Every structure is written in structure tokens, then in C-alpha cells.
Structure 1
Amino acid sequence: MNIYFTIFEILLFSLFILCLRHAINEGLQAVLRLLAGVAFGVLLEWATIVQLDAYSYGRFIVLVDTVPVVIGVGWGIILYSAMLFSNSTKLPWYLRPFLDGLLALNIDLAMDALAIRLGMWDWGSGLANEYYGVPFENFWAWFWVIFSFSFFFRVFDQLKGPIKVWLAPLMAMGLGVVGVLSTNLFITEIVPREFDWVATTTVVLISLGILIARRDAIRQRTEHSSLAFWVPFGFHGYFLVIGLVSGYIFQPIVLLFVSILMFLVSFGIHWDHIQKYLSRG
């Protein structure tokens, strides 16, 4: 048993329970959205491995075929917390998926290079390739995974009547997987490998540009659950602490600076909510 894996699984399942408790209080659609996000995560990971055979996972405790259930749980809680945050803004529904995608990238930039050093997954290209062992297209894929689910959920959530309660999560899961697999083909078959970082950077800059142009709508947020902060904080805190304990965060030391920077970015994004939370305490 790998203690780093075990702690990671306990952390993510604990965060899932907190998200589930919140979702139950919010109503049936919130529960279905969370569960669909987890199923979406497991399904897209399995389909991507079958489609591309680009990576493999380490020995986690609970697996569905070759996919650790905790990875699906991770996708589910990241989706749930990101959408909690974006739903609290005044952004129109069709722009919120851009924010969700960037919130997820904030986590992955600090996580992926450390995760492969811990043996959680393996890209099969060593630890020096591209972004310290992580292919650049991974970050593009991370954005589109979150964007796809969020976008299709919000599209079908515009429907009238009770059918949207069930249809929005189901269509987000199904069409989201189709969107991700289509993006995988585009990344691997059309975009030249040497331009992967250009494509990733372009997607991020366009999204940032859209959100900066609508920054007032982001600042004018309504009250939202503290889970919008605690989920990313859990990821950042785990990889920062375990990275320090294992020493992998110094190999190379730039990983330490990236981890701290992404943590500070996340902290800054949620600062106003953190202040309100602390003032209540």
C-alpha cells in the first residue's frame, strides 16, 4: 500500500462526502450533477486510455477496470466546486464554462508534475519531457474536460420544466465525453506536436481575455458555499505538503514555485469569501 495514494484517496472521498451533503441540501439536480460529474470522470478516463493509450495509473485501492475511482471523484468534485463558484457570478451562463475551465487548470498546473513523480500516473515519456514530464496537450485536455461538461449541462439547464433536472446532468455526461474524445483526436491528429504548447496557451489567453472583459460580472458575486474554496485548497494543500515531505517538489525546484503561485492564485480568487468566512468565526 502506497501511503501517498491512500491519503489522496481519503482526502478526495472526504471532499466528495462534503460535496454530496451540500448537494442534498440544494436538491435533486445538484445531487445528479455531482454524481454525473464522477461518472463522467471515470468514463472519460477509461475512454481516453482506450482511445490513445497515452498514460497509465498506479496501484490505487478502488478501480473500475484500469481507472481509479478516486480520479473520477476528483473530476466530479472539481466540477462541482468550480460550478458553485461560477454560478455565484453575474456572468451569463454561456461564459461560465470558460471560468470553470481556468479554475480547473489552476489545480492541474500544481498537481500533474508532482503526481507523476509520486507514481500516481505515468505518461511514459520520462520526467523531463515538455512540462517536467507532463505533455502540454494534457493542460488543453484539462480545460476542455471541464468546459465540455459545464457547457452541455448549462445548455440543457436552459430547458423549461422538470425534465431538465434529469436531462442536464445526463447530457452533460454523455455529450461531454463525446466532446473530450473529439478534442483528443484534434490534439493528437491535427495539431502538430511542436505546437501543443501554443494551442494550450492560446486557449488560456482567449479565456482570460473573455473573463477580464467581464471582470465586473465576476466581482459581483452572490453568497456561495465554502466548498468552492475547500476543494481546490484540498488539492493544493495535499500536493504542496506531500511534495515537501517526499522531496519531489524540489525536482526541479521550479515545481515548488509553481505550487505556491497556483495556491496563491486560488487563495486570491476566493479571498473575499475567505474574509467573510473568517469574520463569522
Structure 2
Amino acid sequence: MMKKTKIVQSYWSKAYKNSPNNGWAFRETHYMSWALSCLQLKQFYDEVELVTDSEGANLLINKLHLPYTSCLTTLDKLNDENPAIWALGKIAAYEVQQESFIHVDGDIYIWKPFPKRIENAGIVAQNIEKNYPFGIKLLSEMRDRYFSFPFLPSAGDMCEANMGIVGGHELDFFRDYCSLVYSFLDSNRDKLETLSGGVSSINTIMEQYLMYEYAKHCKKEVEYLIPNLSSTEMYKLTLFSLLPRDVSFIHNIGSYKKKEITSDRLARLLYCAYPQYYAYINNLLRQNII
């Protein structure tokens, strides 16, 4: 019998602490999101690995008692890195994988297993982001500032692979891709501060854009969880109200995290699905343990 896919999550403490409330409207939602994400993954997958640093292991394993089956503190090696480059935590997690995997962000919650076409694919990602104004503007700015790219970017549409989920069994591809990202970063470090959006704007280019372009460059096919998702429909990934009948996959992308209603709905969902964890997290917060 074929071994069930391993799920991986990554948590770089330094990057999370770099943004107010860890990117959410309320501090407590950060903890509740990680709890709900991990617990739902464990409903459908036997093996859920955490790749983190020592501080992250202390929070998610020792304090929150989330049921990860294994924990690597690989991300301690990023202690001297700029936390604004948050994608480095994910890149380091992909790089360390020794078997087929699917990396799932901590703001994603599933209500059924991923389709077999995703579990069995060589390379997977969430969806294609095509001609997003932010990406087009940033890429143009980087060219104007003579950023060095590892290969000639393709002409035409500006596409990125949304990596809310990413992975597969082509581990050589991911190792090469990770090396490519490090090389890209090292050759452009002196220019990062010149970006109008700040250093953090480099994340989507170095992670999503390079992933899409490198797969294309290698003539590798990427299997997308949601193959045809337009920019105007991305918001549908955040609609808790559609669970579980109409959707089985929620991804709290970008600005939606900062909405109070998102935090409220997430808290209610954790309370209904895992009341003991909801009470436990609130208790830890009251005692200032987290």
C-alpha cells in the first residue's frame, strides 16, 4: 500500500514577531489559527511535521500542545536573517524534506483530504496568480533597479504560483529551487532596501514568482489544487460561511487576516470543533503564558 502523504508546516518565530499581532486583527487569533490548522490536518493525515526554531517549538509543542508527529528546529539557522524576508522560513522547510510532502501554511484549514491528483503529483501548488498589479509593478521596479535574475524571465503574462500549499515527490526540483532562491537573494541583498514597498515586498517574487518561472524553465508540470481561480475570486478562499458543505479548503490570505470578522469567525469555528483547545488557549492568554 502506498504511504500516505506527509504534511509539513513551518513556523519562523522571528518573522511572526515582526508584524503586529502576527499579521492578525487580534493576537489570540494567531494561536487559534495554528491550532485549527494543525488539528484539521491531523483529522486526515497521520503524519504532520513541524519545521520551526527553538522558540516556535516551545510555543506550538510545549505550550499549545499541538499534536505534531515530529518537530525539527531547523529554522534556528535563520537567527541572523532579516525577519522581513519571512519566506525564508518556508524555503528552509522545503529544502530539508527527504520524502514526498505537502507544505501547508498555518492560515489554511481543510475539511477533507487533498485530492489524489494532488497527493500523487510531482509538483503541487495552490493556484496561479496571473497579472496581479502588485506583482507587475514590483517586477518592473526590480528591473529598473537592475536586480539580478537566475534566468531570463519569460515575456507575456506575469504569473506566480500561490504557495499556500506546495510540495510533491520531485525532491530534486525543490532542492534546486531552494538553491535558486538563496542565490537570487544573495545576489540582490544590496538592493532590497531600495524597493518602494520595503524589504518585505521581495517575498512573493522570491517564493511564488521564481517557483512558477523555474518550473516553466525546467518544463515541469505543476498540479494546482484550484486550477482556475481568478484574482476577483480569491476572496472565496476566506469564506468560513461556506464550510463544510460548499467548500473544504479555507486560506486566510493577506489583508483578510486583519479583518475583525475573520478573527471572530475563526474563534467560533475553533470553539465549535475543538472546545477544549479554545478554552485552553484562552486560559494561557489570561495567565500571560503566551
Structure with the largest fraction of helix:
1
**Where on the TM-score scale, by shorter chain, does this alignment land: which range?**
0.3 to 0.5
Instruction: Give me the TM-score of the superposition, normalised by structure 2.
Output: 0.33
Q: TM-score of the superposition, structure 1-length normalised?
A: 0.34
